[in-house]
Amino acid sequence: MAIKFYNTLTKKLEEFQPLIPEKISMYMCGPTVYDYFHIGNARSFVMADIINRYFRYKGFDVKFVMNLTDIDDKIINKAIEEKIDAKLVAEKYTRAFFEDIEKLKIKPADFYPKATDNFDGIVNLISKLVENGSAYVVDGDVFFNVENFNGYGKLSGKKLEDLISGARVDVNEQKKNPADFALWKSTKPGEPFWESPWGKGRPGWHIECSVMSMKNLGETFDIHAGGNDLIFPHHENEIAQSEAATKKPLARYWIHFGFLNIDNQKMSKSLGNFFTLRDVLKKFSAEALRLLYCQTLYSAPLNFSDDLLASSETALKRIKNTIHQINTSLYAEENQEKFSTEKFISQFESSMDDNFNTPQALATIFDLCKEINLFISRHEKLSEENRKQMLSTIKLIGGDVLGIIDFTEKTGHGETLLNNLMNIIISIRNDARNEKRFEVSDKIRDELKKLQIELEDKKGQTTWKINRS
């Protein structure tokens, strides 16, 4: 089945056809590195990660690029606030960004271009726009002339005449049109600057992304992604300046991620409900946060609360308990009836092929766990083939694509050693019970419980699990 998803540019669900068969070029607007990123940013980063993971799972050769905006008004203001150089601000929060996406289990992009590493390309693109009449220079500033670009507003649906009539009275008098936007900003006292044909200054935000995306992916590439808040003006302006220079479409498909609300209110520092990823990870796991994000379609608004995250932690425990049941079940003969996971893989792919429907993909993994638990309850033992099939399917859906289960946490020698030790302890306890030395068997059970290891006796079989609640 082909992958279909909503294209913001055409305003409809479209079947994805890459420019080059079996290859995908994808650009994601990354952070402006002036602070720790918040949980709204985190949602966009996680959903882009899941889309990237799914494309790779489907066999595509993906070239995924995420930029870092390391010079911007926000960075300069932060530098003034902290009384340090703007470069140091960018370096500090760039390091923090990489630390935080690692905590979020986000797969690294193939390239992380920085604005400050691309000044030659930025100057060249602006020069081209000035030369072909798409931009004009005023006292060291360079502006893009939106009226000279046919189709301005095609991504956002905004009409140029409405933007002009709705402009504030105190518009920049340097501009020919209130909707014109800066490509190059002349330097102000105390600000960092770079040399250019128009004097000392720095680039505008929008031109940076055009240069970094086209440098790494070509003048036309497959997918451009980012948060809904970037549709206008950022992505609209990217399209205008890029296509005015190349006369080619910039990106063929545009994916946008929905807004995040806190307890049904817009997240805002003024409302006191603004949370960074670091705030949230002090109380909840990264996997629970990813699971919460997956419960809503990527493009839809998402409500966030501690209660919803707590519910996500509980849901995660259900999956982990199933994994534990698989790992600790006794071994059966290899002629045990086969547990088939084909229908679950098919359901999962159908969900993701249909506009990356992660809520339905999540439902599939919980249906799978339910069927596994019933099978184990019925048979009490598992063949090695069934055990591997169950674990590999949970890992495929929950680990490899959705990233809500970390299979690296307790694997390898440590996991095997713990299983072997628990089998010895359970065997000793069973011997004590058979010999009616119940004070010994009870003490083993109680001491293990203090270590958060619970034993369960049923149908003549003892199983164990770690209970961290």
Last residue of a domain, one of 240, 263, 282: 282
Same domain, yes or no: 98 and 143: yes
> How far is residue 339's CA from residue 323's CA, in Å, rounded to a whole number?
15
> With 60 as the cut, is the pLDDT of residue 236 above it?
yes
Query: Can you tell me the distance from the alpha carbon of 243 to that of 254, in angstroms, rounded to the nearest whole number?
Result: 15
Whether residue 136 is found in the same domain as residue 236: yes
**CATH at residue 202:** 3.40.50.620
Question: Does a structural domain hold residue 299?
Answer: no
Does the residue 331 lie in any domain? yes
How many domains in the chain?
A: 2
For residue 466, the tally of other CB atoms under 10 A from its CB is 15
Q: In 3D, which of 86, 103, 90 has the Cα closest to residue 30? A: 90
Same domain, 364 and 243: no
> Does any domain span residue 310?
no
pLDDT in the model for residue 168? 53
**Amino acid identity, position 10:** T
pLDDT single digits (tens) 183-211: 999 999 888 999 999 999 999 999 999 99
Decide if 10 is inside a domain. no
In this structure, the answer to whether residues 136 and 186 fall within a common structural domain is: yes
Q: Are residues 104 and 149 in the same domain?
A: yes
C-alpha to C-alpha distance for 131 and 124, rounded to whole angstroms: 10
Same-domain status, 278 and 320: no
pLDDT (average), residues 219-224: 98
| Contact residues for 167 (Cβ-Cβ < 8 A; gap 6+) | 178, 179
Q: Residue 174: how many CB atoms within 10 A of its CB?
A: 13
Residue 199's contacts (CB-CB under 8 Å, 6 or more residues apart) are 140, 186, 187
Same structural domain, 208 and 350:
no
| One domain for residues 278 and 346 | no
91-102 as b/e: b if 16+ CB within 10 A: ebbbebbeebbe
The secondary structure of residue 230, as a DSSP letter, is G
Domain assignment present for residue 308? The answer is no
Residue 347 sits in a domain of what CATH number? 1.20.120.640
Residue 413: what pLDDT?
A: 46
Rounded to an integer, what distance in angstroms lies between the CA atom of residue 47 and that of residue 64? 13
Over residues 39-45, mean pLDDT: 97
pLDDT digits (tens, 9 = 90+) for 275-295: 999 999 999 999 999 999 999
449-458 pLDDT per residue, tens: 888 788 888 7
Q: List, for residues 297-324, the tens digit of each pLDDT value.
A: 999 999 999 999 999 999 999 999 999 9
Indicate if 354 and 245 belong to the same structural domain. Answer: no
Q: Are residues 239 and 342 in the same domain?
A: no
pLDDT for residue 106: 98
**Is residue 413 domain-resident?**
yes
**Position with higher pLDDT, 462 vs 47:** 47
Domain boundary (266, 282, 298) is at 282
Residue 270 has a pLDDT of 66
DSSP code of residue 247: S
Residue 1 lies in a domain: no
Q: Where does a domain end: 263, 282, 301?
A: 282
Same domain? 262 vs 388: no
Quick one: 261 and 384 in the same domain? no
Angle at 212 between CA 211 and CA 213, to 5 degrees: 95
Determine the residue type at 239: I
Q: For 337-341, 420-424, 445-449, which range has the lowest pLDDT when averaged over its residues?
A: 420-424
For residue 197, is the peptide bond before it cis, meaning its omega torsion is within 30 degrees of 0? no
Q: Which domain holds residue 368?
A: 315-466
Residue 4 belongs to a domain: no
Strands 23-28 and 61-66 turn out to be: parallel
